[in-house]
A and B are shown apart, each in its own frame.
Chain A
Amino acid sequence: MEAISETLTSPSSLPTLPFDLISEILCNLPVKLLLQLQCVCKSWKSLISDHNFAKKHLRKSTPRLMVSIINNRHKNVSLFDSPIPSLFSTLKIQRTKLRFPNSLKNKYCSPSGVCSCDGILCFVADNGSFVLWNPSIRKFKILPPLNNAPNGGPASYFGFGYDHLTNNYKVVAVSLKEVSVYILGTDFWRTIQDFPHSSCSESSGVFVSGTINWLTEYYDHDGASSISRVIVSLDLAKETYQKLSLPDLNNSLWTLGVLKDCLCICARSWGGKFLEVWVMNEFGNKESWAKLHTVSYTGDGGPYVIGKPLYIYEDNKLLMDFRDLEIGMVKLKLGFYDYKKDTLKILNHQNFECYMDPEVYVESLISPCF
């Protein structure tokens, strides 16, 4: 029955919502339920698989936290995800085991790190293949091998992000200095300008504002063991590079991340007892680097090494990850940092051993197979 506008006697008849209004409501639902609701009727099935609906849904989507856990008994890596913990909840975080694509089992190579964009995770499997995976809808795609694979070997750095110009997603792979780009929906890689640097500190790039960014570190020529750092930023639409300067800080271990759509730097001190979080409020503008917080951990327990901020809440509290260094293994912990009180509250979260930093991603309907 079609949508009816209200008649003068409306209060007694059942209100029927027109399809476009139903679509608005559905945008608020979690992915899992939406997949079930594809069984409601044919028009709902089409709507929920529609790419434009997926993009609309993405805007209201909830971020989730993914962690890779080493299962001591079986010595293999399992992936779990959970909602971003609420500041107010003291309940144990409910984790869901992610069903890793069967054909890739035993090939997941966590130490390379993971990038994500719009709910799609990008990582490199053990055999060197790139994989795009949306765990929320359980769709994955194994990308064709890199052109220079025989010569250059597997990619050393990579990145994944959304290009607003072509309204599509791109994977970037850097092998030695050769850079290849893959556009979702095609079946080949294209070579672009060489990478302007070497020695990136982490293999996975950070996607922000249409660019993929890698932190590079190198020792100055004068050999005075001072480290110079610069961010290499690739504009996904133009496929050109830019170098971004960083604030001058004395700390030792740096990681690049993203908070609230801005590039952020976490610079840790030796021993990992405190770190500074700086945010580049205006992309590309060196002057816009501003210190957000200095996080220091002076509580009980430890020794802890402070990892990096994962997520920032409305009132600027940070969700941090850090490592508990026990002999023989690295255990991951999560905590909230409250800058007003300068306290770090460890979450009531089961310890688990893991390789890599947790990845924050959003649940989405966007398919890597379109």
Chain B
Amino acid sequence: MAQEASSSTSSKTISLKTGDGEIFEIEASAAKQMKTVQRLIDDLGDDITIPLHNVFSKELPKIIEYYKKDITGEITKDFEAEFVKDLNDDEVKVLFLAANYLDANKLFEFLSQNIADRLESKSVEYVRKYFGVENDFTPEEESKLREERAWSFRGIKEDE
């Protein structure tokens, strides 16, 4: 087939297929921000549908929405606040995992900070539950640790 004249990447769209079989379109310049996608494009060409086995139809549109704003330089604090506003804890974790899989650095950093924000002033027990981590300290070990750090468990004191 005769080589097509290369169009500017900004006008070209790439097809992405999620793990559950749905197809979404994304602009090539946005795809470039997701290094995993870009690597697949480099290997497979930009004319075929890129398969993303570990990303699903629930998350991908949201990710595409983020990068659509990114390439037009429109990501503001307000946009980011709005973006995560209605995400519950599980949804944000899934998006974070997807951003990691896609090697989408900007989104990854943003979501990493957002998850951290959700944990501020939460208890040790809450954080264990949030990450599904089991406590492997004995009760004695744990109480000793807590005692050593008792000051860090206290709230910030206001200046008198």
- Is B a genuine binding partner of A? yes
Task: Give chain A's interface residues, CB within 8 Å of chain B.
Answer: 1, 5-6, 8, 10-11, 14-17, 21-22, 24-30, 32-33, 35-42, 44-45, 80, 94-97, 99, 138, 350
Choose one: B93, B136, B137, B152; the contact of A17 (CB below 8 Å): B93
B145 interface contact, C-beta 8 A: yes
A33-B136 in contact (CB<8A): no
B119-A41 in contact (CB<8A): no
Enumerate B71-95 residues with CB–CB distance to A below 8 Å: 90, 93-94
Choose one: B58, B115, B119; the contact of A33 (CB below 8 Å): B119
Task: Give chain B's interface residues, CB within 8 Å of chain A.
Answer: 19-20, 54, 56, 58, 90, 93-94, 96-97, 100, 108, 112-113, 115-117, 119-121, 124, 127-128, 131-137, 142, 145-146, 149, 151-153, 156-159
B133-A28 in contact (CB<8A): no
Choose one: B134, B152, B153; the contact of A41 (CB below 8 Å): B134
Give min CB distance, A58 to chain B, whole Å: 15
B19-A8 in contact (CB<8A): yes
Choose one: A22, A33, A39; the contact of B137 (CB below 8 Å): A39
Distance between Cα atoms of A27 and B151 in the complex (Å): 21
B131-A29 in contact (CB<8A): no
Total A-B residue contacts, Cβ distance less than 8 Å: 98
Question: Contacts of B117 on A, CB cut-off 8 Å?
Answer: 28
Give min CB distance, A45 to chain B, whole Å: 7
Distance between Cα atoms of A216 and B157 in the complex (Å): 41
Question: Contacts of A26 on B, CB cut-off 8 Å?
Answer: 116
Choose one: A6, A30, A96; the contact of B120 (CB below 8 Å): A30
Q: Which residue of B lies closest to A138 (CB)?
A: B151
A11-B93 in contact (CB<8A): no
Beyond contacts A33-B121, A96-B156: 13 other A-B pairs, Cβ-Cβ < 8 A, are: A5-B54, A6-B56, A10-B56, A11-B58, A21-B96, A21-B97, A25-B112, A25-B115, A29-B120, A41-B133, A42-B136, A96-B157, A96-B159
Give min CB distance, B104 to chain A, whole Å: 14
Distance between Cα atoms of A53 and B91 in the complex (Å): 27
Q: Which residue of A lies closest to B121 (CB)?
A: A33
Question: Contacts of B128 on A, CB cut-off 8 Å?
Answer: 40-41
Q: Which residue of B lies closest to A31 (CB)?
A: B152
B136-A39 in contact (CB<8A): no
Question: Contacts of B146 on A, CB cut-off 8 Å?
Answer: 39
A17-B142 in contact (CB<8A): no
Question: Contacts of B56 on A, CB cut-off 8 Å?
Answer: 6, 10-11
CB within 8 Å for A41 and B136 given contacts A11-B58, A29-B119, A30-B120:
yes
Distance between Cα atoms of A44 and B136 in the complex (Å): 10
Give min CB distance, A56 to chain B, whole Å: 12
Q: Which residue of A lies closest to B116 (CB)?
A: A28
Question: Contacts of B90 on A, CB cut-off 8 Å?
Answer: 14-15
Question: Contacts of A1 on B, CB cut-off 8 Å?
Answer: 132, 134
Q: Which residue of B lies closest to A69 (CB)?
A: B159
Distance between Cα atoms of A25 and B158 in the complex (Å): 28
A24-B119 in contact (CB<8A): no
B152-A32 in contact (CB<8A): yes
Give min CB distance, A148 to chain B, whole Å: 38
A22-B131 in contact (CB<8A): yes
CB within 8 Å for A97 and B132 given contacts A14-B90, A25-B112, A40-B124:
no
CB within 8 Å for A97 and B159 given contacts A6-B19, A11-B56, A36-B124:
yes
Choose one: A21, A27, A37, A138; the contact of B124 (CB below 8 Å): A37
Question: Contacts of B121 on A, CB cut-off 8 Å?
Answer: 33
Chain A CB count within 10 A is highest, among B131, B134, B135, for: B131
Q: Which residue of A lies closest to B125 (CB)?
A: A40
Distance between Cα atoms of A45 and B133 in the complex (Å): 13
B132-A11 in contact (CB<8A): no
B54-A99 in contact (CB<8A): no
Give min CB distance, A348 to chain B, whole Å: 13
A36-B159 in contact (CB<8A): no
Distance between Cα atoms of A27 and B152 in the complex (Å): 17
Distance between Cα atoms of A94 and B132 in the complex (Å): 34
Question: Contacts of A29 on B, CB cut-off 8 Å?
Answer: 116, 119-120
Chain B CB count within 10 A is highest, among A22, A27, A28, for: A28
